[in-house]
Amino acid sequence: MKIFGIFGNPITHSLSPAMQNKALLALGEDACYHAFRVAQEDLGDALLGAAAMGFSGLNLTIPLKEKALELDFLQPDPLAKAIGAVNTVSFGPQGLVGYNTDGWGALLALLNAGVKIRGKNVLIVGAGGAGRAIAYTLAQEGAEIAIANRSLKRAEELAAQVGARGFCLCDLERLAPQADIIINCTSVGMREGDARLLDGRLLQSHQAVFDIVYNRETELLKDARAAGAVAVDGVMMLVYQGAKALQIWTGKKAPVDVMERAVREALATRRAGEG
């Protein structure tokens, strides 16, 4: 049996196991996919342990995507190296290879929601692993990017790499009304009771608002819908980035419809349990 999984911290919220196990079954693979809590400082040992135990592939999530690039035994492919973050790892004769499928997932999620990218002003909030991937990908698609982050230095460093502009979170009130597309690449909204990322009154009907958080409907998305904006949740980004990872691991075309259904069913079950 092939073993796949996801490393992260926290990890209990992840719906990747529900999604990928249904996909592997649909593909006829004798395989399983599990979630493992791994602290940042333990990532190297965890990856080497997974390799020693014969794992076939892994995903990495918060806060491990950038940490992976510091490991000298993991070889990032050119895209992951350019982005500066790894979210998918394959194990093979050539050793551990890192990939980034987050940008691909985000791009498809936006395009399939009818959101045009080229020439649009995109405000990305957050300069972590997902923010890096999305900024790089959308810049390549011809968007004009602004990046706002808690650390201005980090925002400016990422902006310099992708030909964008860097700002601090204190600039959100000014930047949000100017944007055609607003993307939350932080974990804000993942938990009930989180403070709002920005004042919903700043949102406008001509905008598209994309929140990569997928485990619940965030206040940002509720505000976007109230404003008449296009609201895109993180489910399809999760599905498309996972589909790309599955293709890397198995060489097979992933069953996207099966994966989306699995995620939305798991979300509905979780919400019913919380109610």
Which residues carry out catalysis? 65
Structure-block tokens of residue 159 = 């902006």
CA 26 to chain centre: 24
What is the dihedral angle through the alpha carbons of 93, 129, 233, 32, rounded to the nearest 10 degrees? 30
3-state secondary structure labels for all residues of 91-112: EECCEEEEECCHHHHHHHHHHH
| 114 vs 136: CA distance, rounded Å | 20
| Cβ pair 144, 122 in contact under 8 A | yes
**Tokens, residue 44:** 């190297």
Burial 143-161 (b: 16+ CB within 10 A, else e): bbbbbbbeebebbbbbbee
Q: Which residues contact 136 (CB under 8 A, 6 or more apart)?
A: 82, 83, 103, 161, 162
